Amino acid sequence: MGRLTRAEAAAHREALALTGVRRDLDEEEKRFVLTHFQESANQDHHPGGAFFTPTDLADCMSLDVIGNRVIDLCAGIGALAFACRNPHEQARGLPAREIVCVETNPEFVAVGMKLVPEATWVCADVFDIGRQRWRPFDTAIANPPFGNHPRTGNAPGYRGPKFEYHVIALASHLARHGVFLVPQSSAPFHYSGRQQMLEGRGDAEYKRFSSGTGIALEPGCSVDTAFHDTHWHQPVPRTEIVLTDFADTALARRRRTRTNTSGALATPWDRPARAS
């Protein structure tokens, strides 16, 4: 089971057993699985850059989600999608959110379908999603792989090495609003782990991404992600929650011109044989 402690391995086995029961899980059981299912436990299936979002951090990210249609890109086992559900609003008679989860690892998808059965799960490479036709989503949310992670394509407007920028650019063709977790080095500001907000920190790669896509990243609801450092299963770099409004980008304007009469989006993008 990878380099897990005995306690972590035992909790993972219990979480794995819960995903196999032939009944619906209750909320407490679902949170147990989200907390203790280890992405690195299966040595035969490398997690592929997956770092599951801690549940409390996922809850914080969900505060910036708007609208009723949400797509979770690189969804893992569904921590962000789980946080984006709206049971309290449903209790007041409002409709349930429509959530789509996109994840390439079938093992993770199987677990996610147990934890967030109300979502539509799509087992696919995130670079294939634009080849399908979707009604516009209100918000795209993601904790994608970071940095120079192997990928199968390039996003529109960006050909650089950072996987997180590719996912954000892809999301601009799917949603009106975005909420993302990225390394602090990829954000144009530094807030987490510091005493005050430091703006104007975008490096050359961020400027390349922003100028090519027309996308600007902004701070979220002032969440210091450093408070959640001890809850990750594996060490991760310092992170930031970033928001963006896709409505006014050049890409969004081109996207609107491709919207067909049924309201579906045609979103083709460059897909070379292999990029890394």
Is the model's pLDDT at 177 over the cut of 50? Answer: yes
Q: State pLDDT tens for residues 3-32.
A: 789 999 999 999 999 999 999 999 999 999
Q: Domain of 80: which CATH number?
A: 3.40.50.150
For residue 31, being part of any structural domain is answered with no
272 in a domain, yes or no?
no
pLDDT above 60 for 155: yes
pLDDT at 255: 54
Q: What is the pLDDT of residue 259?
A: 53
Range of the domain at 131: 49-257
| pLDDT computed for residue 276 by the predictor | 32
- Tell me, yes or no, whether 123 lies in a domain: yes
In this structure, is residue 10 part of a structural domain? no
Over residues 197-210, mean pLDDT: 95
* Domain-located, residue 27: no
Q: Is residue 42 part of a domain?
A: no
Q: Work out how many domains the chain is built from and give that number.
A: 1
pTM (two decimals): 0.88
Buried residues in 142-165 as b, exposed as e (16+ CB within 10 A): bbbbbeebebebbbbbbbbebbbb
Work out the mean pLDDT of the chain and round it to a whole number: 88
Question: C-alpha distances in angstroms, 32 versus 87, 118, 172, 262?
Answer: 18, 18, 33, 41
Q: What is the pLDDT of residue 76?
A: 97
